[in-house]
Chains A and B, each alone.
Chain A
Amino acid sequence: MANNSFSSSSFTYKRQKIIIGILFLIVPLILLLVFTYLPAINMVLYSFTKWDGFGTVDKYVGIQNYIDIFTKPEYFSVFGVSLFYFVGSIVQIALALYFATIVSFNVRFKNLFKGILFFPSLINGVAIAFTFLYFFQPEGGLDTVVKALGGSNTPLWLGERSLINISLTGVSIWRYMGFNFVMFVGAIQSIPSEIYEASELDGAGRWQQFLYIILPGIRLILTLNLILSIKGALSVFEIPYIMTGGMNGSSTFVIQTVNTAFKLNKVGLASAMAVILLVLIVIVTIIQNVVLNDKEDVQKL
């Protein structure tokens, strides 16, 4: 009898399991397919057309869009702008590493410093864009500071072609430095303190500790941040779009894609641009996964 009830209950359990399994997975799967996979597939299809986004997909042109993007400087020159952001994020990571290191040694008001430096990464992007639009204005906050420090000829921070991307990259560093910083602080704290103690007994100084303990200890998180910054530099949109609208040579690849698709209604061409961005980001992500194969260390954070 015991045997009987066991088998009947295991039968209903099996059925119940299947029903619950299907019920629980059906909605997430449909959403995933419709809003993540379908767009990606459609985008590739659109990229071979000169479709304007209205009516049925038509005007098949083969790889003409891709040829256009890679041969006309007006399209690929925006990748030059990504370089500003990439160099900016190297500076950002270096600053974050410096501050994370000094904060991890003895510092008063550590939490206050940490909080202040981190806070910008939580702020709404539109609010940040407006804050700096105002800060960069002639006679605005930045000019006042420059003059107070003895400078006289203040440039138009967002008006001069040679300066605009540097100013915008500066905003990006202002916004995200604290985020890297907090990640590094976390990574440094996860290094066992015995290692420092042992090294101090051996007479290691702070610089040696940084070079031989901290740097190797956070190597993975550092690599991860560098890789993420490549992705970030490729997909910059919000801040320059709101602050300058991409004027004056500040357009990024995503700004250009959005304008091509939604202002010029060249959905085909915009799709080709988006496919290129997608491929670039996928390549970077694959590199990321290869480099960070040793996931154990990352998960400790």
Chain B
Amino acid sequence: MKPKSDNVLTFPKPLTQQEHRLGRGSKINHPGVILASTFKYFTLVLACVVVLLPLLVIFMASFKTEQEFYNTPVLSLPSNFLNLQNFSDAFTGGLMLQGFANTTIILVFSCTGTILIGTMTAYVLSRFNFRLNKVVSGLFLLAALIPGVSTQVATFQIVSGLGLFNKISSNIILNLGTDVISVYIFLQFLNGIPRELDEAALIDGASFLDVYWRIILPLLMPAIATVLIIKGVGIYNDFYTPFLYMPGKGLGTISTSLFRFIGPYNAHWEVICAGVVITIIPTLVIFLFLQKYIYNGLTQGSVK
């Protein structure tokens, strides 16, 4: 046995193949190892508490009556978990229902559009040897440099000049027009698929449209899933675009209708809390079901 190191991250025993890939079996009896292990779990649990506590406080407050809210400590359980009054207030009075409807419309059109536009662009850029392809690729690459957050001052003038201000289409078209990441994900994926597949179909007499629709699109499915996750999460959480372009009363999205709670419900934090819970629940459900895809998709999107 090697001498014990005083570093908490140092484990003295060598690892066998049967044990966990990078890990170690359960026969840990060294005091240093126990200390290190305790510290490890302590910090992990602490981090989880830090993450969960603010959410837990909100969650509990959302079930409290107004009376209860002001007279009980923040960390106390609500007296009745079936008190859904705040939720119905948030849904109807706070127009969250409308927010969900608008966000859904934006999501459906933006995602469909992004996938069509992105795959079509990637198909032409990857498979057709046009002389202008390099220029077009360059334009998309260069556009990735321009952060949307900085150009809104001027984008606003264009959107209002086109008469799209205060229309739901403004958000959809901006989601489509400023999306470069999707094109790149598709392009990269497509460059990894051998050309022989679609060339064979062309030789068999298929048209380019057939090849795109029957071969390229189905092959791109994993990339489409990635793009859907990146775009879906991005659009659901987008505050900036609807805030700037859709201030109209009936045009709230999830983000902006929740944001508008701050005025009328300023004194009603229990309703605001319910609004927050309503906003988070769809995200939580999606996350629980698509965990693996979400990890891969989102981290991929940020690397590109």
Chain A positions within 8 Å of B75 at CB level? 141, 144
- Interface pair B208/A16, CB less than 8 Å apart: yes
Interface contact B50-A127, CB-CB below 8 Å: no
Cα–Cα, bound, A24→B24 (Å): 54
Q: Is B55 an interface residue (CB 8 A)?
A: yes
Given contacts A43-B151, A124-B279, A274-B150, contact A228 B302 (CB under 8 A): yes
Interface residue A11 (Cβ < 8 Å from any Cβ of B)? no
Instruction: Please name all residues of chain A whose beta carbon is closer than 8 Å to the beta carbon of B207 when the two chains form the complex.
Output: 16
A224's nearest neighbour on chain B, judged by CB, is: B303
> Given contacts A141-B74, A186-B299, A258-B152, is CB(A104)–CB(B22) below 8 Å?
yes
Residue interface mask A84-106, B partner, CB < 8 A = 1: 00000000000100110111111
8 Å CB interface, A216-273 against B: 221, 224, 228, 231, 235, 237-238, 242, 254, 257-258, 261-262, 267, 270-271
Instruction: State whether B154 touches A43 (Cβ < 8 A).
Output: yes
Interface size of B by CB at 8 A reads 105
Find out whether the CB atom of A39 lies under 8 angstroms from the CB atom of B20.
no
Q: What A residues does B43 contact at CB under 8 A?
A: 98-99, 102
Instruction: Give chain A's interface residue range (CB within 8 Å of chain B).
Output: 35 or more
Shortest beta-carbon contacts, A-B, top 4: A106-B23, A35-B177, A205-B10, A31-B177
Query: Can you name 15 A-B pairs with beta carbons within 8 Å?
Result: A24-B121, A31-B117, A43-B150, A99-B44, A105-B22, A115-B287, A116-B48, A121-B298, A123-B283, A125-B255, A134-B58, A141-B75, A257-B153, A261-B153, A274-B151
Binding site for A on B (CB under 8 A): 2, 5, 7, 9-12, 14-15, 17, 19-24, 40-41, 43-44, 47-48, 50-55, 57-58, 61, 73-75, 117-118, 120-121, 123-124, 128, 130, 136, 139-140, 143-158, 173-174, 176-178, 180, 183, 188, 202, 207-209, 212, 233, 236-237, 239-240, 244, 254-256, 258-259, 261-262, 269, 272-273, 275-276, 279-280, 283-284, 287, 291, 294-295, 298-300, 302-303
